[in-house]
Amino acid sequence: MKIVVADRNLIPHRSRLEATVPSDSRLSWHDGFDEAALAEDLRDADVYVGGKFTSSLASSAERLRLVHVAGAGTDNIAFDALAPDVLVANTFHHEKSIAEYVVATAVMLRRGFVAQDKALRQGVWATSVYDDRLTQSNSLQDAKVGFVGFGHIGHATWNLFRAFGATGAAVTGRGNVDAPSAGLDWAADVSQLGRLLVESDVVVVSAPLDDRTRGMIGADELRALGSDGVLVNVGRGPLVQEQALFDALSSSTIAAAAIDVWYDYPGPDGRGTPSALPFSELPNILMTPHSSGVSRQTFVGRVDDIADNITRLARGEQLRNVVAPAVGSKGSRA
């Protein structure tokens, strides 16, 4: 069995993958997405592991049986170009790392630590202990956390928030979350998004991006979150309207935001601004480069899932996490 690997995130775990796939496997590694080189290499490949698979690659991969994404999002897979018998699978394991990010950034922003760090670098002790104009910050104890999307990430994040003594609620597309069993105050479909925002101190966005959810949080929704509210987006950037978010932060319509998912992405060199708007000039935003789920633990788990599915394929067994494209789907971190 020939396996072509084109995900640079897996290179640090090369020996682990090579040791756990079937012993007769031949692995061919690529450290970048060179479409011409990949097309040539895929001519006799059985498995492709990577986050991007084009129609051009599909036309070259005559023996292909499996496309395995080393992550959750399948929005860069040309499903329509795949032969009917080619399976597509994904893997997760990022939820715990993302949950750590969400809670950590919520604490940093809610307690004002980002602003205090900047001030102290200038010799200013920006705390109510020394400045009567400043108010005492709020911890997560008794904070109301609202989840827009409550899948893998929502569940893992809520487990951490509960340990701080927070309360929670959630809205999802299907509205089928069992609130009592999840330990939430309430759960509903997205028709109750306005209520969720009004009631929440921290809002965590991890919903899938599709034609129904694109831009679901705009100016009205951010006003509902209010001047003490903190927004954390780990889903997809366009779930939150770009201009509305910038305006809400600029005018302190909301208190702060942690944004890990963006509106513009760089090329392979990793250089480029994440938005046409100057978010970097705002003092009340914590900006990260889609890195909340990037940890060693995430990719070790993903390597093990990929190896397990390749072994299942070799044995003729049913694969795990087989996915099909949803109408209008653009991937999900939920």
Render pLDDT for 246-297 as a digit per residue (tens, 0 to 9): 999 999 999 999 999 999 999 989 999 999 999 999 999 999 999 999 999 9
State the pLDDT at residue 95: 97
Per the domain annotation, does 80 fall within a domain? yes
pLDDT in tens, 142-160: 999 999 999 999 999 999 9
- Residue 238 pLDDT > 60, yes or no? yes
Same domain as 50, residue 172:
no
Per the domain annotation, does 269 fall within a domain? yes
pLDDT in tens, 169-220: 999 999 999 999 999 999 999 999 999 999 999 999 999 999 999 999 999 9
| Apex 206 CA angle, 202 and 210, nearest 5 | 135
Per the domain annotation, does 333 fall within a domain? no
- Average confidence score pLDDT of the chain: 96
Same domain as 274, residue 165:
yes
Same domain as 112, residue 63:
no
Contact 188, 175 (CB under 8 A): yes
Dihedral, 221, 224, 226, 232 alpha carbons, nearest 10: -40
**Residues 115-124: contacts with CB under 8 Å, at least 24 apart:** 115/283, 115/284, 118/283
Per the domain annotation, does 334 fall within a domain? no
Global pTM value: 0.90
Contact 27, 46 (CB under 8 A): no
Same domain as 120, residue 48:
no
Per the domain annotation, does 327 fall within a domain? no
Per the domain annotation, does 217 fall within a domain? yes
Confidence of residue 75 (pLDDT cuts 50, 70, 90): confident
State the pLDDT at residue 330: 45
Same domain as 172, residue 63:
no
Per the domain annotation, does 74 fall within a domain? yes
State the pLDDT at residue 327: 44
Residue whose pair of structure tokens reads 């929670």 in the numeric block = 168
Same domain as 203, residue 86:
no
CA gap 182, 220 in Å, rounded: 29
Same domain as 238, residue 276:
yes
Same domain as 156, residue 31:
no
Same domain as 258, residue 306:
no
- Residue 317 pLDDT > 80, yes or no? yes
Per DSSP, what are the bridge partners of residue 230? 202, 256
State the CATH number of the domain containing residue 35: 3.40.50.720
Residue range 57-68: mean pLDDT, rounded: 97
Domain of residue 23, residue span: 2-93+296-315
The amino acid present at 89, given as its one-letter code, is A
Per the domain annotation, does 65 fall within a domain? yes
- How many C-beta atoms surround the C-beta of residue 314 within 10 A? 17
Q: Which two tokens stand for residue 33?
A: 């997405």
Same domain as 32, residue 158:
no
CA gap 85, 98 in Å, rounded: 34
- Residue 107 pLDDT > 90, yes or no? yes
3-class state of residue 182 by DSSP? helix
Confidence of residue 334 (pLDDT cuts 50, 70, 90): very low
Q: Percent of the chain at pLDDT above 90?
A: 95
Same domain as 165, residue 71:
no
3-class state of residue 209 by DSSP? coil
Instruction: Report how many domains make up the chain.
Output: 2
State the pLDDT at residue 326: 53
Same domain as 184, residue 72:
no
State the pLDDT at residue 328: 46
